[in-house]
């Protein structure tokens, strides 16, 4: 079982951080990505990074050592949230770009919220310092109000003053990225196993067929290997890097354009290496069917006030996340004040994760989906494709035009006056193949997922000889190899620890399940 390998440190090495650039429109995200690309002049690479493949890797000197960084080459947070919505994390760290002449703007805060929701550390790039009206001190002050405290004020966020246009201090920014990654992330990967990772972008090329840029997250991908990427499969015919060179292998955190897939996978979908083409096709077909089923299930599992109540009753959730949108800033403030006064006891809280004036946008829906929030619209409506997207993502939008009505409904929901009906849905099963006793963690069950998937936050029961040995348990941890995992799928091994239940035996089956709301009417 793979857990036994944990002690073998020799296969593990530090992998480069994967970084997303976020920030308000026109603050210089695109220019910065260009500047970083151009700053990376490697000897013998006269042309430099010439290919836009969706991500690129650069090298920089930090304390006399060469360090690599991978940048996702899509400015904005669309890619970031699209991938998060699929449950995959694309980035380890975010660079938040703020123009020094403009200051903190709505999308700056939105980007910040996205990074917070994903739990990734940030480095602030104060851009456009070449402009006479630039005021970096103002930016530091503004962000401090949002809880982003600069190191020089005793906080733990690095602020770097740059000019993307005049190419000032780009190296300083790269150094800050490396230092922040070193300080707050443990980026280790095992390069000697089969590759796994995600799709950054993909399209159909006229001459070359489906082309996908993948990011290797663990293991090493080699030309000739069979892979499954989302619903697509195939043998890696060729790999091309950001210099336009053909490469034969891609190690952790390396992006590469892959040729040879049967179809175009979606951004954010995962890929993995399998034994042969036949296996790849089988898994791809299974995956497609499962994805379709999951989409249907997702549509049913709407995150509503009622759901929230039920999850609170089951002790799963103590916080209701809200996004407030109103027609004028006075109404948003009044709503927030009134919400703060709702008294529903100590165990339960309301957290306003974002607020703003104006129509409900797709970005609002994105954030709500990524953080299980409900959107409250006060005298405003959705714009563009926001409604469509909310339906697709299962995000609830509640509309009000009278404050006390909004408050009354939220309070009623919090107090449990609206009770939904639930039914159980099995997620998957895992067999315990070995047990490791750890004085710190308790009994670690080394498992093989034999059906569906095991999810970190799912409920589980222990089945022994066909009978239920323990029911309605939580997981204290779920790991795949060395890393904490949100979920582990069929065909993979994992290590898990049960909360408040140590009496496990080899041969026991762990069954994971979730409670799904039965639609009314």
Q: Which residues belong to the annotated binding site for GTP?
A: 23-30, 73-77, 127-130
Q: Which one of 1, 25, 41, 417 is in contact with ligand GDP (CB under 6 A)? A: 25
Comparing CB distances to ligand GDP, the nearer of 26 and 156 is: 26
d(CA 385, CA 360): 10
**Is 130 a binder of ligand GDP (CB under 6 A)?**
yes
Q: Which one of 12, 16, 27, 432 is in contact with ligand GDP (CB under 6 A)? A: 27
| Closest residue by Cα to residue 301 from 516, 83, 496 | 516
Q: Which one of 15, 67, 114, 128 is in contact with ligand GDP (CB under 6 A)? A: 128
- Phi and psi for 382 in degrees, rounded to 5? -75, 155
Applying CB under 6 A, which part among 63-71, 127-135, 357-365, 494-502 lies near ligand GDP? 127-135
**Is 29 a binder of ligand GDP (CB under 6 A)?**
yes
Asked whether 332 and 355 are in contact (CB, 8 A), the reply is yes
d(CA 440, CA 363): 42
Comparing CB distances to ligand GDP, the nearer of 35 and 369 is: 35
Comparing CB distances to ligand GDP, the nearer of 31 and 325 is: 31
Half-sphere exposure for 280 (CA within 13 Å, toward CB) = 23
Comparing CB distances to ligand GDP, the nearer of 139 and 406 is: 139
79 in helix, strand or coil? helix
Comparing CB distances to ligand GDP, the nearer of 30 and 192 is: 30
**Is 464 a binder of ligand GDP (CB under 6 A)?**
no
Provide, rounded to whole angstroms, the least separation between the CB of residue 82 and ligand GDP. 17
Provide, rounded to whole angstroms, the least separation between the CB of residue 170 and ligand GDP. 10
The CA-atom distances, in angstroms, between 340 and each of 243, 322, 401, 451, 510 are 54, 12, 19, 44, 41
Residues in the chain: 521
Comparing CB distances to ligand GDP, the nearer of 91 and 163 is: 163
d(CA 114, CA 370): 8
Provide, rounded to whole angstroms, the least separation between the CB of residue 129 and ligand GDP. 7
Asked whether 472 and 511 are in contact (CB, 8 A), the reply is no
**Is 136 a binder of ligand GDP (CB under 6 A)?**
no
Tokens representing 123 are 């480095």
In angstroms, how far apart are the furthest CA atoms of the chain? 75
d(CA 372, CA 117): 10
**Is 28 a binder of ligand GDP (CB under 6 A)?**
yes
Comparing CB distances to ligand GDP, the nearer of 167 and 355 is: 167
Find the binding residues for ligand GDP in span 271-310 (CB under 6 A). none
**Is 31 a binder of ligand GDP (CB under 6 A)?**
yes
**Is 13 a binder of ligand GDP (CB under 6 A)?**
no
- Phi and psi for 261 in degrees, rounded to 5? -80, 160
- Binding-site size for ligand GDP (CB under 6 A) equals 16
**Is 26 a binder of ligand GDP (CB under 6 A)?**
yes
**Is 442 a binder of ligand GDP (CB under 6 A)?**
no
Q: Which one of 164, 173, 195, 504 is in contact with ligand GDP (CB under 6 A)? A: 164
Please state the residue numbers annotated as binding site: 23-30, 73-77, 127-130
Applying CB under 6 A, which part among 22-30, 56-64, 171-179, 351-359 lies near ligand GDP? 22-30
| Closest residue by Cα to residue 512 from 436, 444, 430 | 430
- Phi and psi for 42 in degrees, rounded to 5? -90, 140
Applying CB under 6 A, which part among 49-57, 123-131, 183-191, 289-297 lies near ligand GDP? 123-131
Sequence-distant (≥ 6) Cβ neighbours of residue 346 within 8 angstroms? none
Tokens representing 136 are 């970096």
3-state SS of 445-492 is EEEEEEEEEEECCCEEEEEECCEEEEEEECEEEEEECCEECCEEECCC
| Closest residue by Cα to residue 54 from 70, 34, 74 | 74
Applying CB under 6 A, which part among 18-26, 263-271, 309-317, 511-519 lies near ligand GDP? 18-26
Find the binding residues for ligand GDP in span 473-502 (CB under 6 A). none
Asked whether 207 and 237 are in contact (CB, 8 A), the reply is no
Comparing CB distances to ligand GDP, the nearer of 28 and 54 is: 28
Find the binding residues for ligand GDP in span 51-80 (CB under 6 A). 75
Comparing CB distances to ligand GDP, the nearer of 96 and 232 is: 96
Comparing CB distances to ligand GDP, the nearer of 172 and 491 is: 172
d(CA 73, CA 332): 35
**Is 196 a binder of ligand GDP (CB under 6 A)?**
no
Provide, rounded to whole angstroms, the least separation between the CB of residue 128 and ligand GDP. 4
What pairing do the DSSP bridges indicate for beta strands 65-72 and 18-23?
A: parallel
Under DSSP, the state recorded for 520 is: P
Q: Which one of 37, 116, 131, 482 is in contact with ligand GDP (CB under 6 A)? A: 131
**Is 160 a binder of ligand GDP (CB under 6 A)?**
no
Asked whether 430 and 450 are in contact (CB, 8 A), the reply is yes
Interface positions with ligand GDP (CB under 6 A): 23, 25-31, 75, 127-128, 130-131, 163-165
């Amino acid at each position: 079982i793979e857990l036994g390998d944990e002690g073998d440190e020799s296969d593990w090495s530090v992998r480069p951080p994967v970084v997303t650039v976020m920030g308000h429109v026109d603050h210089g995200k695109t220019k910065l990505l260009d500047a970083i690309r151009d700053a990376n002049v490697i000897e013998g690479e006269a042309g430099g990074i010439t290919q836009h493949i969706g991500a690129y890797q650069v090298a920089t000197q930090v304390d006399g050592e060469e360090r690599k960084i991978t940048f996702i080459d899509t400015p904005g947070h669309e890619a970031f949230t699209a991938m998060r919505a699929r449950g995959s994390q694309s980035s380890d760290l975010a660079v938040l770009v703020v123009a020094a002449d403009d200051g903190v703007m709505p999308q700056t805060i939105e980007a910040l919220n996205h990074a917070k929701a994903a739990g990734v550390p940030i480095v602030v790039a104060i851009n456009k310092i070449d402009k006479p009206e630039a005021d970096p001190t103002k930016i530091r002050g503004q962000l401090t109000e949002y809880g982003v405290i600069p190191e020089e004020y005793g906080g733990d966020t690095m602020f770097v003053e740059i000019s993307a246009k005049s190419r000032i201090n780009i190296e300083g920014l790269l150094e800050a990225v490396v230092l922040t990654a070193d300080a707050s992330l443990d980026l280790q990967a095992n390069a000697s196993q089969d590759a796994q990772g995600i799709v950054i972008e993909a399209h159909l090329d006229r001459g070359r067929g489906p082309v996908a840029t993948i990011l290797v997250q663990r293991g090493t991908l080699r030309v000739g290997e069979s892979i499954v990427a989302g619903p697509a499969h195939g043998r890696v015919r060729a790999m091309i890097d950001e210099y336009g060179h053909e490469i034969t292998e891609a190690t952790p955190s390396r992006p590469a354009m892959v040729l040879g897939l049967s179809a175009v996978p979606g951004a954010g979908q995962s890929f993995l290496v399998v034994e042969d083409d036949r296996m790849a096709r089988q898994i791809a077909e299974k995956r497609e069917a499962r994805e379709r089923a999951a989409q249907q299930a997702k549509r049913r599992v709407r995150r509503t006030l009622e759901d929230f109540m039920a999850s609170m009753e089951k002790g799963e959730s103590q916080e209701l996340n809200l996004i407030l949108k109103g027609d004028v800033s006075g109404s948003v403030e009044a709503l927030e004040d009134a919400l703060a006064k709702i008294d529903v006891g100590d165990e339960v809280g309301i957290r306003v994760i974002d607020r703003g004036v104006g129509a409900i946008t797709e970005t609002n829906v994105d954030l709500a989906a990524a953080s299980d929030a409900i959107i409250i619209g006060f005298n405003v409506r959705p714009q563009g494709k926001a409604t469509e997207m909310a339906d697709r993502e299962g995000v609830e939008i509640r509309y009000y035009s009278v404050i006390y009505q909004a408050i009354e409904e939220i309070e009623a929901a919090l107090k449990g006056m609206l009770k939904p009906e639930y039914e159980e849905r099995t997620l998957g099963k895992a067999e315990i193949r070995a047990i490791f006793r750890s004085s710190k963690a308790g009994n670690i069950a080394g498992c093989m997922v034999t059906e569906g998937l095991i999810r970190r936050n799912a409920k589980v029961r222990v089945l022994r000889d066909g009978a239920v040995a323990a029911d309605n348990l939580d997981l204290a941890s779920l790991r795949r190899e060395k890393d904490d995992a949100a979920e582990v799928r069929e065909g993979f091994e994992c290590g898990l620890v049960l909360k408040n239940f140590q009496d496990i035996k080899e041969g026991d089956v762990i069954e994971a399940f979730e409670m799904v709301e039965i639609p009314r009417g």
